[in-house]
Amino acid sequence: MRTVCQPSSRRGRAVRTIRALAALACAGTLTAGCGGGPITNTGGNGNGGPDELGPAATILFPPAVSITDARTVEVRGTTSTEGVAASVRVNGVPAQSTDQYLTWSANLGLDAGANTIRVATRDTRGFGNDPAATATIRSIAILAAPAYGAIDTSRSLLYVSDRGRATIDSIDLASGAMRTVSGDDAGTGLPLGAPAGIAFDAASQRLLVADAELPGVLRVDPFTGTRSIFSDIAVGSGPAFAVLADLELDTDRGRLLVSDGALATLFAIDLASGDRTVLSSDDVGDGPSLAAAGAIAVDRARQRAFVASNVEGAAVVIAVDLVSGARTLHAGGFARIDGLVVDPSRDVLYLSDPTVPALLQFALASGARSDFSTAKRGTGVPLARPAGLEVDPARDRILVVEQSAAVLGADRDTGDRALASTDATGGGPILGLATGVAIDASHDRALVASAGPPALLSIALSSGDRESLTSADTTTGPALVQPAAVALSINGTQAFVADAGALSVIAVDLATGSRSELSGATRGAGPAFTGLAGVTIDPDANRIYVSDGVARSVLAIDVASGDRTVLSAEDTGVGPAFESPAGLTYDSAGARLLVTDPRLGAVVAVNPATGERQVVASAEVGGGATLAPQAITLDGAATRALVSNTLRGEIVAVSLVDGDRTVVSSATTGSGPRYELPLGLAIDPSRGTIVTADPDAHAIFVATPDTGARVILSR
């Protein structure tokens, strides 16, 4: 592990925050012994004996287990007693402190792969404690929205195009090691915009990548990441592209086949010149249209290409003659097709349908169709949104690029599925589309609402391990449909889930997982829900507040009866009307409800007694970052809230005094994997960190509120 010593330029606010946490810990309210919190070596007994240890230490950030795509990490923590510690070292690097190591931080360089963080302390008498605390962090490429893959069998590498991060990443199929081959921070040349189909040209030792944003095809050096244009309107002759999707090599003819969904066309590009010709389109070749042409696979034995297309609203596979461009319908009746690949050794065509989700197989000789890997065939990691497919003959499997930010390997005989990518962290069921998060501090866990697969998950804040609390196999009650947000009950025994799909608030018993409708179609009187978005608890009145974006209102729910009343809307309470109320949190210190409204671009305070609305922050109130807020939480101080600017991919601090706004964590503020669509937001009081649910990244992030540094706790 490399070492970097660099004091933080924003330490002041961190010291104040963590000092407050440490004071609470010393008072016995936030220690691990109270039922959760960071793991720490308790240190010596203070008697000065021969087995005396130095001061105990706690790592507040990063978590005990996490991943990052950064090559550095700022480690933050505390020691047990002010005035006792003489030094703190993290992997040999002297930590920085302004309060005699009551709080401290150190910047570390990270090696690719696994890194162990080891904290050593020494007191004023010379007694040491090593390790006083430890954590593990992996520095790897992290997939966000992968779509297609290309295999280099000679090096046992799978290259993956990631539209979410605008990168090309590689996965070592033997070791699982992942790295970014080309992107903003890897390689030079024309930047990647929206990389889609990808092929490895072994003869020229290059990657060819369809970029839908360019639109054109790029050549990428797999060793240096250097990017240049291979074929577009300015390079190579022939008709221009519109919206490129997939590409595949036709090595027998020295050309590249490229599908263009907008033009309903299959292009052929000369591998030497980049010149373009139309192989098949509505004007070239007979047969059904290549409307919405997407995934491609080549059947060399029969000199044809298979192209995913759309006929009369249904997804189909069209066979295209590689000489004449003539088209015939090969298979149809699918909801969607995102991946195709031909396995020549078995004479089989594999197809991915993300709507089921399922992998199907077709015997090319007979045309027989059967399930290959589905919910009913094959065990292991469940399919979520399978897309691109590749054959890995050395390991007798089909590689499945999952749009849920993973790559799976499916055994060719059994359909059993296992992870091939290693950027997952935390064990347990798939995280899916995490939309909301609440912290259960007494159990040191995050409660996470997932919209797909619909579930309420428990995620350990120490390890990232996941457990479903609402499994249909082991629990009872109404099924979750599309959970949007979650809140913890006052006594900590229940979670309240705002289910946008069921238009209901569901109470989940955290001990048994059993579910019941707290308020909705079958329980409680009052106006019906039309578009649930957020949920929070009013501990002072033992009632729940929910936001309804369709009705443009905030409703209050009586916990005992489930009865609903409109608390604030255009005709209830005075003040600026809501346009799309979303996240909400209760501010006990101000005796008010804080509500985000992304269309209004504002944070609005609501009086719980009158429904009166007052803008706290907006383009007209306060200055700083532009607001398009979704989730909201208080950061522990009575004068500041944190909101997720979802579409901007950032977390913003909002002053509750004057409305001023500052970006706390984003792609340009703080290191680590970037947010894709931050939705759920909560503060971990034991560590003073920000916990964020991001459905597009399929991840739970943890970030520091002062520097904005981010890692992924679970995905």
Question: Residue 451 phi/psi, 5° resolution?
Answer: -85, -15
Cα–Cα distance, 163 to 141 (Å, whole number): 14
What DSSP string describes 147-176? EEEEEETTTTEEEEEETTTTEEEEEETTT-
Residue 576: Cβ-neighbour burial (10 angstroms; 0-12, 13-18, 19+):
middle
Residue with tokens 């003073």: 688
Whole-angstrom distance between the N-terminal and C-terminal Cα of the chain? 24
Can you name the residues that pair with 467 across neighbouring β-strands?
458
Q: Is the pLDDT of residue 34 over 70?
A: no
Residue 622 contacts residue 661 (beta carbons within 8 Å): yes
* pLDDT at 82 (0 to 100): 62
Asked whether residue 146 carries a pLDDT value surpassing 90, the answer given is yes
**Residues in Cβ contact with 566 at an 8 Å cutoff, skipping those fewer than 6 apart:** 526, 527, 553, 554, 555, 556, 572, 611
Mean pLDDT of the chain: 91
**pLDDT tens sequence across 331-362:** 999 999 999 999 999 999 999 999 999 999 99
List own/partner pairs for 188-194 with CB under 8 A and 24 or more apart.
Answer: 188/225, 188/226, 188/227, 189/226, 189/227, 189/228, 190/214, 190/218, 190/227, 190/228, 190/229, 191/166, 191/227, 192/166, 192/167, 192/168, 192/218, 192/227, 193/166, 194/163, 194/166
Residue 270 and residue 268: Cα distance in Å, rounded? Answer: 7
Rounded to whole angstroms, how far apart are CA atoms 414 and 61?
Answer: 42
What confidence tier does 104 reach under pLDDT thresholds 50, 70, 90? very high
Please check whether residue 690 is in contact with residue 458, taking contact to mean a CB–CB distance below 8 angstroms: no
CA distance 449 to 435: 6
Q: 467: helix, coil or strand?
A: strand
* 591: alpha, beta or left? (left if phi > 0; alpha if psi -120 to 50): left
Q: Which residue has the tokens 């979303």?
A: 582
Do 171 and 407 touch, CB atoms closer than 8 A? Answer: yes
Residue 714 has pLDDT above 80, yes or no: yes
CA 709/CA 715 separation, integer angstroms: 18
- The pLDDT-based confidence of 144 (bands split at 50, 70, 90) is confident
Query: Which amino acid makes up residue 707?
Result: T
CA distance 39 to 18: 16
What is the rounded average pLDDT of the residues 681-704?
A: 95
Residue 31 has pLDDT above 70, yes or no: no
Q: By CB neighbour count within 10 A (0-12 exposed, 13-18 middle, 19+ buried), where does 85 fall? A: buried
What's the rounded mean pLDDT across residues 528-547?
Answer: 93
Band of the pLDDT at 8, cuts 50, 70, 90? very low
Torsion of CA 555, 559, 563, 569, to 10 degrees: -10
DSSP run (H or E) holding 17 = helix 11-26
Segments of 204-326 assigned E as strands: 206-211, 216-220, 227-231, 244-250, 255-260, 265-270, 276-280, 296-299, 304-311, 314-321
Confidence band (pLDDT; 50, 70, 90) for 429? Answer: confident
CA nearest 76: which of 130, 15, 123, 139? 15
pLDDT at 36 over 60: no
Cβ neighbour number for residue 310 with a 10 Å cutoff: 22
User: What's residue 528's pLDDT?
Assistant: 96
- Taking each continuous run of H as one helix and of E as one strand, the counts in the chain are 1, 57
Q: Is 231 helix (H, G, I), strand (E, B) or coil?
A: strand
**Given pLDDT bands bounded at 50, 70 and 90, which one contains residue 136?**
very high
Spatial neighbors of 616 by CB under 8 A, at least 6 apart, are 594, 602, 603, 604, 605, 622, 654, 656, 659
Element holding 181 (H helix, E strand): strand 178-182
Q: What tens digit of pLDDT does each residue of 624-638 get? A: 999 999 999 998 767
Is the pLDDT at 45 greater than 70? The verdict is no
Report DSSP letters for 485-531, one per residue: EEEE-TTSSEEEEEETTTTEEEEEETTT--EEEEESSSS--SSPPS-
**pLDDT over threshold 50, residue 23:** no
Nearest partner of 298 among 245, 256, 357, 358, judged by Cα? 256
Kindly report the number of other CB atoms within 10 A of residue 260's CB atom. Answer: 25
Half-sphere exposure of 517 (CA within 13 A, CB side): 15
pLDDT of 639 reads 85
Residue 617 has pLDDT above 60, yes or no: yes
Q: What is the dihedral of CA 615, 616, 620, 623, to 10 degrees?
A: -170
Q: What is the pLDDT of residues 442-471, one digit of tens each?
A: 999 999 999 988 999 999 999 999 999 997
- Comparing 56-60, 131-135, 382-386, 590-594, the range with the smallest average pLDDT is 382-386
Nearest to 450 by CA among 437, 464, 439: 437
CA dist 438 and 119 (Å) reads 30
For 463-483, the pLDDT digits (tens) are 999 999 997 777 789 999 999
Both tokens of 495, joined, read 């979670």
Residues 378 and 400: their CA atoms lie apart, in Å, by: 14
Q: Check whether the bond before 131 is cis (ω within 30° of 0).
A: yes
Nearest to 244 by CA among 228, 263, 230: 263
Written as one letter, the residue type at 29 is: T
Greatest Cα-to-Cα distance within the chain, rounded to the nearest angstrom: 91
* Cα three-residue angle 153-155-157, rounded to 5 degrees: 75
Q: Over 90: is that where the pLDDT of 117 sits? A: yes
Judged against a pLDDT cut of 80, whether residue 648 lies above it is answered with: yes
For residue 53, what pLDDT is reported? 81
User: Over 60: is that where the pLDDT of 27 sits?
Assistant: no
Which is higher by pLDDT, 12 or 565?
A: 565
What was the pLDDT predicted at 164?
A: 85
> Which one, of 625, 632, 600, lies nearest residue 533 by Cα?
632
Q: What is the mean pLDDT of residues 75-86?
A: 86
d(CA 196, CA 437) in angstroms, rounded, equals 32
pLDDT at 3 over 70: no
Query: What is the spatial distance between Cα 584 and Cα 508, in angstroms, rounded to a whole number?
Result: 20
Separation between Cα atoms, residue 260 and residue 274, nearest integer Å: 16
The one-character DSSP state at 344 is: T
